[in-house]
Structure 1
Amino acid sequence: MFKSYIISINISEKKGETKKPVDKAILKENWGIIGDAHAGNWHRQISMLSAESIEKMRKYGYEINYGDFAENITIKNGEIHKFPIGTKVKIGNALLEITQIGKKCHLSCAISKKIGKCIMPIEGIFLKVIKGGEIKINDEVIFYLEEEQSA
């Protein structure tokens, strides 16, 4: 089991643009974040990135804000891209599952246009919502494998 917490929740109305921070969001089962362009009945309903991954890009001298990588949830403390697919993630009453690690970067995304490289394809993770609920800044985020829950 690994624990972290939310430092930013980010949504956008259109795909291909940076996401803007919000204080809280509603996660809908088998959909994602209500009001976010990437929500839908597919395996990449929510994207997540750690602040440490974003900090790697800042060290190159880029001014980057949370949500600029189009991540829905930014958390503190963790190499979350090292968790295996199938890992469960609990945030408040909501339950999510990691479905993909990294992605193929498309050149039309806002961050690639802005700085020419992107950490999301390497260290971002994607999740589906198994059980919905409200999430907010500073909520605890718990990563665990299925067998850890039953122990």
Structure 2
Amino acid sequence: MAKVVSINVSDKKGVVKTPVKEGTFIKDHGIEGDAHGGKWHRQVSLLAQESIDYAMKKDGLELTPGMFAENLTTEGVVLHELPVGTKVRIGETLQEVTQIGKKCHSKCEIYFKTGDCVMPREGIFTAVLKGGAIKVGDPVEIMKE
């Protein structure tokens, strides 16, 4: 079963996010208290623990959730293979995939250490359709149309 392994927030853009036990997600905004929230298509960022594990093995670094500035770290689902428009139920929320990957304009700390970063290729972004709480351990359910 796919699940949330970490919820991560920061009050500033461009920094590593700090894990929290629970997050409040606001419709049409994102996670409460996170600098990336707002009325746009990249309200919540997600990255799979499997992608982080791959980067650790490849680069020999100790990497933890939030280091890629993702809001949600998941396990058990290949996020970057979900088509745009896919609806995902996570905790009390309903979210819609709006973007796969991103262009990395300013290289992050991990890129400078390793010469690579998985977030631009394997991270995804969602918009919050229905707000609510998400806790570590909550299931991640891909909705079938």
- Please indicate, yes or no, whether the TM-score normalized by the shorter chain is above 0.5: yes
Closer, same or farther in 2 for the Cα pair 1:17/1:54, shift >3 Å?
A: same
Partner in structure 2 of residue 28 of structure 1: 26
Structure 1 counterpart SS, 2:5: strand
Partner in structure 2 of residue 92 of structure 1: 91
Partner in structure 2 of residue 8 of structure 1: 6
Tell me the distance in 2 between the aligned counterparts of 1:143 and 1:9.
Answer: 18
Q: Deviations over 1:70-125 (max 9, x none)?
A: 01000111211001000001012210000000000123433323433110000000
Q: TM-score, normalised by structure 2?
A: 0.94
Where does 1:22-101 land on structure 2 (aligned, <5 Å)?
22-59=20-57, 60-101=59-100
Tell me the distance in 2 between the aligned counterparts of 1:70 and 1:114.
Answer: 16
Partner in structure 2 of residue 123 of structure 1: 122
Q: TM-score, normalised by structure 1?
A: 0.91
In the comparison of the two structures, how many residue pairs are matched? Answer: 144
What is the percentage of aligned positions where both structures have the same residue? Answer: 51
After the TM superposition, which of the residue ranges 39-48 and 72-81 deviates more from structure 2? 72-81
Q: CA RMSD in A?
A: 1.2
Where does 1:103-114 land on structure 2 (aligned, <5 Å)?
103-114=102-113
Tell me the distance in 2 between the aligned counterparts of 1:61 and 1:46.
Answer: 28
Tell me the distance in 1 between the aligned counterparts of 2:5 and 2:16.
Answer: 17
Question: Where does the alignment leave 5 or more consecutive residues of structure 1 unmatched?
Answer: none
